[in-house]
Structure 1
Amino acid sequence: MKKFLLFLAALTAAIVLLVNIGPMILLAVGLGLLYLVFKQFVKSNSTAGKVGWFIAGLIVLSIALANVYAVIGFAAAYVLYVLVKKWKKTDNIIDADPDRSDPFDNFEQQWSQMNHY
């Protein structure tokens, strides 16, 4: 049952991530453009150039901030990462100790303790 719930949560996170992939890409492009505008602002020598680059920076910043849904996409990506990690962790526990599946281990340990005394 736990694996099924993990699967449903991972499926939901994957769907949310896929839905928000567009805003995530636009946010990355906007932040990249904002970085380029900042570099040009710093390189500019004239006051008119600095004012122009500042206005361009505000426009690009408003475009980047319009993609608020990208934050939801990044949160879904993180949740998906954590769920996959948890899924692999539960698989490794079962595979790491194959003797735990033997129902007679506990009986044999108790029998050897009784015979020891």
Structure 2
Amino acid sequence: MKKFLLFVAALVALGILLANLGPMILLGISVWLLYVVFKKFMKSETTAGKIGWVVLGLIITSVAVSNVYAVIGLAAAYVLYLVYKHWNNKGDSETEVFTSNDPFTNFERQWAELKK
């Protein structure tokens, strides 16, 4: 049942990722263009050149803000990563069960629980 739910979650996340692929690409391009505009702005020596780069930067910023839905696509990609990571997880069988009263054994058990 767990693998079925992981499969359904992966399908939903894949659909969301594919639906937001265009905005994700445009957001990446606009962030890169903002970086280029910032570098050109810093190298510009004239006031008119700086004003031109600021105007271009504001236009590119408006494109980037309009593609804010790409964050949903990034979240879907992260969900796909989590599903991939937990697909073959065996659960609690990876850690041993300690029943000794030895303080060092109890420490190891508690340390293993903290690592989860």
| Normalised-by-shorter TM-score class | 0.7 to 0.9
Runs of 4+ aligned residues of structure 1 deviating over 3 Å after TM superposition are none
CA deviation string 1:1-42 (max 9, x = no partner): 111011000110011001101000000000011111101100
Unaligned runs of 5+ in 2: 95-116
Residue number in structure 2 paired with 1:102: none
Give 1 or 2 for the bigger CA radius of gyration. Answer: 1
Aligned to 1:29: 29
Count of aligned positions: 93
**RMSD between aligned alpha carbons?**
1.5
Q: SS of the counterpart of 1:68?
A: coil
Instruction: Map residues 90-105 of structure 1 onto 2, 5 A cutoff.
Output: 90=90
* Deviation, structure 1 residue 68: 1.1
* Aligned partner of residue 75 in structure 1, secondary structure: helix
The Cα of 1:88 is off from its aligned counterpart by 2.7
Q: State the AA in 2 paired with 1:65.
A: V
Letter in 2 for 1:5: L
Structure 1 unaligned regions, length at least 5 = 95-117
Q: What is residue 19 of structure 1 aligned with on the other side?
A: 19
Counterpart position of 2:105: none
Matching of residues 74-93 of structure 1 within 5 Å: 74-90=74-90
Partner SS for 2:28: helix
> How far is the alpha carbon of 1:89 from its aligned partner?
2.1
Residue identity (%):
60
Deviations, residues 23-76 of structure 1 (Å, cap 9, x unaligned): 000000000111111011000000111011001100001101110110000000
- For 2:27 and 2:39, the matched residues in 1 are separated by 18
Quick check: which one's helix share is greater? 1
Q: Does 1:62 align with 2:62?
A: yes
TM-score if structure 2 supplies the norm length? 0.76
